[in-house]
């Protein structure tokens, strides 16, 4: 595969779409929209995995695609929507970085990951190189989202989108064993469950989802 | 043909099987020490256990000394052990340089082990018994190592085992705990610096076998960095200023035979590491200035050590300070050899290196002797404070006369061993004008003056030590009732005393024995000067120790003969004129101690002359108000500026850093995540920058 070929272009397009949705996640302030953007990102990820399964001729990746779609495109967003409804957060607007600032930071991180990955993977296939660069950008943007948000739900979404980046890297590399992906998917589900429980507990105890309120209740040094 | 050369000419010594046998013997002795250490806790329960362990240490030390002589006469040999770190075998080797220092270790270890055996009374606690063989084995492993990992392993074993021995009485005195704490800090610092030195020397390849390191000698800033790290690591272990402060603290805290080994052997092992780096691993094509820091630090150590030795009131502290002085002199010799080699003057380099090696051996022997004598004084008179001793020559004659040999050598009096090596060192210093560089000439002239000053100060310190401890009248009843130790203890004192005299009379033979080591270091042999002499250069100044000894003996004999002859027949002994002393009161049966010079009184002139500027010495008189009957009080004291710096700003910086680090605990979750994120981004940016270069 090389430039101008259909396989390359579609893979590139899907990876770029995942990255684009990371940017959306970064500046979106309404919680419902954040969850929707995350669901879209999961769906795109599933499409990318399916395309890779087709392009690499690896039927195992179809399973990955199905899992990703089911977990990240449908189940987790539905569960998050349910939480939001139960906690009555529809209308809440939360503080995040401004659009301009978050875009600038995001672009800088993407530039950094391209600068790191492209020289380091010389000799690998062009597709793999681009894919790894995109995946690293998604990971970094997920981390950035985790530290800029105050709401527990948004922080969980940041973590899950970070994990999307990892899956994106894994499907781009030929020959990744299926077991790794399955266990990663299971892990993500567990993380989502634990995070949901946590969100409820925080809300119940402190009447807010702002993780800043946890600081006052640390049991050390006070 | 001279003796060692003749011996080397014997064909059976050239047999490679003999070299293998020598290395095997040394490895077996080291292995035996490790087995003794492992068995020590079990043996300590039996009454005969401690003598078995200490006797085994003495036997292993004798084997090490014998193997070292075999290594000096035979030749180099190397072996890859069948075990080692995960990435390769542990490499051991013997060449002339390590053999010379193994000889030092063997001699000091033999005397110290026999002394420990002789001063055993009853069962010995495992925590005192176990580290001793481990200490000896660690030094032997350091000297036998042929790769960085094995060397560091031995170095750390040596440091930690000696730390346990320094801390052996930690529950009794706060001073001992402080000494052990500072010692451990220095040991960790030294090991870390040496580790970094190996890292910088090995570079990206990461192979720390000596053979691989020799292939790629460093240059420019890398050579400077390696030398600085080695000076910090090995220099702090050897006691080079300004990292010398642990010696005067740790030596009094350790048992006497351990102090003897620490001063006699351990500082020499550190000097071996320094010499191994500077002369062997860093290659021979190093520039002139590489020797300058060694000369400068050596001169500073020599003066500080000798001056402090004049002011200390504890005999083991005093001897530790004298060790700092001697390590400084050895370091000057090594630095000069490096500079001469860089200036392409191989004969002078061999002269300076020969002076350094010979002084290392001589100092090891006489300082072991002096520490063992101090231990015997402590055992007999129950004190290390000079102001509680005195007149011991009557009660402990063997200790006193053996100590006199050591003291005379430390004061560099001919014909004893210290004079020969310090004479060679001064000859090398005086020849340093032949290095063309003007700055180096000026520096060397200053170093010459400082070395001469240090030698004079050391002589004064030794007169003070021996005179106040062994001469005069006892200052306490306990000193008046001191008792000589057993036969083994006396043997342990007489052995190094005899060696001190022997090495003093035959320095030429010892220098010939060291010749392969000198060739290894400087690619040249020390100048020859006939059978019983040593010389500064072919046809240059010479020193005939036997002739000097004969002249001295003749002069003393003539004086005795003349006095006997001029004395009238029928000599009657009258009461001694007591210089106008008032008779001591009855409650002081051994005389009034205050009518004899005290330790601080003896040191006062030097404290006033040099101590005020170098050691922040102070003196103040508190006068009572008019009419009061209280006596006036004279208070004096000094402190080592290096120790003040170590205990002042350094802990303050540590506390400030800890307080800053403590603030991290109060960060919120997002700030913690932010730290992680920042670190990841920083690493990626560093990676991108490195890839872009």
C-alpha span between B48 and B33 (Å, rounded): 17
Chain B residues within 8 angstroms (CB to CB) of chain A:
665-666, 668-670, 673-674, 676-677, 680-681, 684-685, 687-688, 691-692
Domain boundaries, chain A: 6-211
Comparing CB atoms, the residue among B669, B674, B684 nearest residue A112 is B684
pTM of the model as a whole: 0.80
Contact A221 B666 (CB under 8 A): yes
Instruction: Identify the pLDDT of residue B13.
Output: 63
What mean pLDDT is predicted for residues B157-175?
A: 89
Question: Of B512, B537, B553, which one is at a domain's C-terminal end?
Answer: B553
Chain A residues in contact with B666 (beta carbon < 8 A): 221
Residue B403 sits in the same domain as residue B303? yes
**pLDDT confidence of residue B197:** 94
**Do both B224 and B311 map to the same domain?**
no
Q: Are residues B199 and B220 in the same domain?
A: yes
Residue A141: closest CA among chain B residues belongs to which residue?
A: B677
The whole-number average pLDDT for the span B381-391 is 90
With CB atoms and an 8 Å threshold, state whether B688 touches A144: no
Mean pLDDT of B234-243: 92
Of residues B365 and A73, more confidence is placed in: B365
Q: How many domains does chain B have?
A: 3
Residues of A in contact with B681 (CB under 8 A): 109, 112, 140
Same domain, B439 and B368: yes
Contact A220 B665 (CB under 8 A): yes
Average pLDDT score over chain A: 79
d(CA B160, CA B445): 40
Confidence of residue B56 (pLDDT cuts 50, 70, 90): very high
Angle at CA of residue B165, ends B163 and B167, nearest 5°:
70
Smallest Cα distance from A104 to chain B, Å:
15
pLDDT band at A1 (very low <50, low <70, confident <90, very high): very low
- ∠ CA(B490), CA(B493), CA(B495), 5° rounding? 105
pLDDT at residue B309 is higher than 50? yes
Considering only the beta carbons, identify the residue of A144, A212, A221 that sits closest to B665.
A221
Query: Does one domain contain both B249 and B342?
Result: no
Q: Nearest CA to B509 among B402, B413, B420, B405?
A: B420
Among A94, A112, A116, most B C-beta atoms within 10 A, so best to mutate, is: A116
Domain end call among B496, B521, B553 = B553
Looking at the fold, whether B327 and B468 belong to one and the same domain comes out as: yes
CA dist., res. A213 & res. B615, Å (int): 58
Q: Are residues B250 and B386 in the same domain?
A: no
Q: How is residue B388 written in tokens?
A: 């509680």
Residue B200: inside a domain: yes
Query: With an 8 Å Cβ cutoff, are B691 and A120 in contact?
Result: yes
Chain B contact set for A138 (CB, 8 A): none
Q: How far apart are CA B316 and CA B308, in angstroms?
A: 12
Tell me the chain B residues in contact with residue A119 when contact means C-beta distances shorter than 8 Å. Answer: 688, 691-692
Q: Does residue B518 fall inside a structural domain?
A: yes
Nearest neighbour of B677 by CB, restricted to A112, A144, A211? A144
- pLDDT above 60 (res B1): no
B601 within a domain of the structure (yes/no) = no
B510 with B384, same domain: the answer is yes
Residue numbers of the domain that contains B677: 660-693
Q: What is the mean pLDDT of residues B367-375?
A: 96
pLDDT, one tens digit per residue, over B549-582 is 999 999 999 999 999 888 887 777 777 777 776 7
Share of chain B above pLDDT 90, in %: 58
DSSP structural state of residue A93: B
Question: How close does chain A come to B661, measured CA to CA in Å?
Answer: 14
Average pLDDT for B625-632: 89
Check CB contact under 8 Å for B670 and A220: no
Per-residue pLDDT at B667: 77
Q: Are B417 and B409 in contact (CB under 8 A)?
A: yes
| Whether residues B137 and B111 fall in one domain | yes
Residues A57-62 have a mean pLDDT of: 80
Domain annotation covers residue B144: yes
pLDDT 10s digits, B114-138: 999 999 887 888 888 999 999 999 9
Q: Considering the domain boundaries, does residue B634 fall inside one?
A: no
Q: Is the peptide bond before B231 cis (omega within 30 degrees of 0)?
A: no
Of A113, A215, A221, the CB nearest to B684: A113
B620 sits in which H/E element = strand B618-622
Assembly ipTM: 0.81
A to B CB pairs, distance under 8 Å? 46
Lowest mean pLDDT, pick from A95-99, A163-167, A194-198, B213-217:
A95-99
Confidence of residue B368 (pLDDT cuts 50, 70, 90): very high
Tell whether the model's pLDDT for residue A222 goes beyond 60. Answer: no
Check whether residue B151 and residue B50 sit in a common domain: yes
- Chain B residue numbers with beta carbons less than 8 Å from the beta carbon of A140 are 677, 680-681
Least confident of A93-107, A179-193, B479-493, B675-689: A179-193
Q: Tell which of B658, B684, B693 to mutate to test the A interface (max A CBs under 10 Å).
A: B684
A-chain residues within 8 Å CB-CB of B687? 116, 120
Angle of the A31-56 helix axis to the A6-27 helix axis, nearest 10: 160
Q: What are A77-90's pLDDT values in tens digits?
A: 898 888 888 877 76
In which band, very low, low, confident or very high, does the pLDDT at A97 lie, cut at 50, 70 and 90? Answer: low
Nearest to B681 among A112, A120, A215 (CB): A112
CB-CB contact of B545 with B415 (8 Å): yes
Interface touch A116/B691, C-beta < 8 Å = yes
Is the Cβ pair B670, A115 closer than 8 Å?
no
Which residues of B are less than 8 Å from A120 in CB distance?
687, 691
| Chain B partners within 8 Å of A215 (Cβ) | 668-669
Residues B189 and B258 in one domain: yes
Q: Residue A67 is inside which H or E element, if any?
A: helix A60-68
> In a 3-state reduction of DSSP, which class is residue A116?
helix
Q: Is residue B400 part of a domain?
A: yes
Q: Among B533, B553, B573, where does a domain finish?
A: B553
* DSSP per position, B466-521: HHHHHSS--SSHHHHT-----HHHHHHHHHHHHHHHHHHH-HHHHHHHTHHHHHHH
Question: Which residues lie closer than 8 Å to B287 by C-beta, 6 or more apart?
Answer: B342
């Amino acid at each position: 595969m090389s430039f101008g070929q259909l396989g390359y272009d579609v893979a590139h397009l899907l990876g770029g779409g995942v990255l684009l949705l990371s940017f959306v996640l970064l500046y979106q302030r309404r919680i419902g929209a954040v969850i929707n953007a995350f669901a879209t990102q999961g769906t795109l990820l599933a499409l990318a995995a399916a395309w890779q399964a087709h392009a690499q001729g690896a039927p195992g990746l179809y399973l990955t695609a199905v899992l990703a779609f089911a977990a990240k495109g449908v189940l987790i967003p539905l569960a998050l929507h349910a939480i939001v409804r139960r906690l009555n957060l529809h209308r809440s607007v939360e503080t995040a970085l401004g659009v301009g600032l978050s875009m600038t930071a995001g672009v800088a991180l993407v530039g950094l990951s391209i600068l790191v990955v492209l020289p380091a993977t010389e000799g690998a296939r062009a597709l793999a190189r681009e894919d790894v660069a995109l995946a690293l950008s998604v990971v970094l943007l997920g981390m950035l989202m985790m530290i800029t948000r105050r709401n527990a739900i948004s922080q969980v979404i940041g973590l899950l989108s970070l994990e999307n980046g990892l899956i994106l890297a894994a499907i781009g590399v030929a020959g990744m064993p299926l077991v790794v992906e399955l266990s990663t998917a299971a892990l993500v589900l567990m993380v989502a469950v634990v995070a949901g429980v946590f969100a409820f507990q925080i809300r119940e105890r402190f009447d807010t989802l702002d993780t800043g309120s946890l600081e006052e209740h640390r049991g050390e040094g006070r | 043909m001279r003796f060692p050369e003749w011996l080397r000419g014997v064909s059976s010594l050239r047999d490679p099987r003999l070299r293998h046998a020598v290395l095997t013997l040394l490895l077996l002795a080291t292995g035996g020490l490790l087995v003794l250490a492992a068995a020590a806790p079990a043996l300590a329960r039996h009454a005969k256990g401690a003598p078995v362990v200490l006797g085994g240490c003495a036997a292993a030390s004798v084997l090490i000394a014998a193997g070292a002589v075999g290594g000096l006469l035979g030749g180099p040999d190397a072996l890859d052990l069948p075990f080692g770190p995960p990435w390769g075998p542990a490499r051991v080797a013997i060449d002339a340089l390590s053999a010379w220092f193994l000889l030092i270790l063997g001699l000091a270890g033999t005397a110290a082990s026999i002394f420990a055996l002789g001063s055993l009374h009853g069962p010995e606690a495992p925590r005192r018994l176990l580290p001793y063989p481990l200490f000896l084995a660690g030094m032997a492993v350091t000297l036998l190592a042929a790769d960085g990992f094995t060397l560091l392993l031995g170095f750390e074993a040596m440091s930690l085992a000696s730390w346990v021995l320094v801390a052996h009485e930690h529950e009794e005195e706060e001073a001992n705990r402080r000494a052990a704490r500072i010692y451990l800090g220095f040991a960790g610092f030294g090991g870390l610096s040496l580790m970094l030195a190996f890292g910088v020397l090995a570079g990206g390849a990461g192979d720390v076998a000596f053979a691989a390191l020799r292939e790629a000698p460093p240059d420019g800033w890398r050579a400077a960095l390696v030398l600085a790290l080695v000076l910090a690591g090995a220099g702090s272990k050897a006691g080079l200023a300004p990292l010398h402060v642990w010696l005067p603290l740790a030596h009094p805290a350790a048992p006497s035979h351990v102090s003897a080994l620490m001063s006699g052997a351990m500082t020499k092992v550190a000097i071996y590491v320094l010499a191994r780096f500077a002369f062997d691993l860093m290659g021979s094509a190093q520039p002139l200035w590489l020797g300058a820091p060694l000369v400068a630090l050596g001169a500073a150590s020599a003066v500080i050590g000798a001056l402090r030795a004049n002011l200390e009131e504890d005999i083991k502290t005093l001897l530790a300070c004298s060790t700092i002085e001697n390590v400084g002199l050895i370091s000057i010799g090594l630095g000069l050899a490096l500079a001469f080699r860089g200036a392409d003057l191989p004969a002078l380099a061999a002269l300076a290196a020969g002076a350094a090696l010979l002084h290392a051996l001589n100092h090891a022997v006489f300082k072991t002797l002096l520490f063992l004598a101090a231990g015997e004084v402590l055992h007999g008179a129950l004190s290390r404070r000079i102001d509680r001793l005195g007149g011991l020559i009557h009660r402990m004659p063997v200790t006193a006369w053996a100590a006199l040999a050591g003291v005379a050598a430390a004061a560099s009096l001919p014909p004893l061993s210290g004079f020969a090596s310090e004479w060679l060192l001064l000859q090398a210093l005086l020849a340093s004008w032949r290095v063309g560089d003007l700055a180096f000439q000026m520096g060397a002239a200053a170093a010459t003056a400082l070395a001469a000053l240090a030698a004079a100060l050391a002589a004064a310190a030794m007169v003070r030590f021996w005179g106040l401890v062994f001469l005069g009248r006892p200052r306490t009843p306990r000193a008046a009732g001191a008792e000589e130790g057993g036969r083994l203890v006396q043997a342990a004192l007489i052995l190094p005393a005899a060696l001190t005299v022997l090495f003093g009379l035959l320095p030429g033979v010892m220098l010939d024995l060291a010749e392969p080591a000198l060739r290894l270091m400087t690619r040249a042999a020390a100048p020859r000067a006939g059978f019983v002499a040593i010389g500064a250069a072919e046809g240059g100044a010479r020193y005939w120790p036997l002739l000097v000894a004969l002249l001295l003996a003749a002069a003393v004999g003539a004086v005795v003969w003349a006095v006997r002859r001029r004395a009238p027949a029928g000599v009657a002994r009258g009461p001694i004129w007591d210089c106008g002393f008032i008779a001591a009161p009855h409650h002081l049966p051994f005389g009034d101690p205050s009518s004899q010079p005290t330790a601080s009184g003896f040191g006062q002139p030097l404290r006033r002359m040099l101590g005020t500027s170098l050691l922040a010495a102070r003196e103040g008189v508190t006068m009572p108000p008019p009419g009061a009957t209280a006596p006036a009080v004279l208070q004096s004291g000094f402190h080592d500026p290096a120790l003040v710096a170590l205990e002042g700003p350094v802990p303050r910086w540590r506390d400030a850093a800890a307080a800053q680090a403590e603030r991290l605990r109060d960060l919120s979750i997002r700030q913690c995540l932010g730290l992680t994120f920042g670190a990841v981004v920083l690493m990626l940016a560093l990676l991108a920058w490195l890839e872009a270069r």
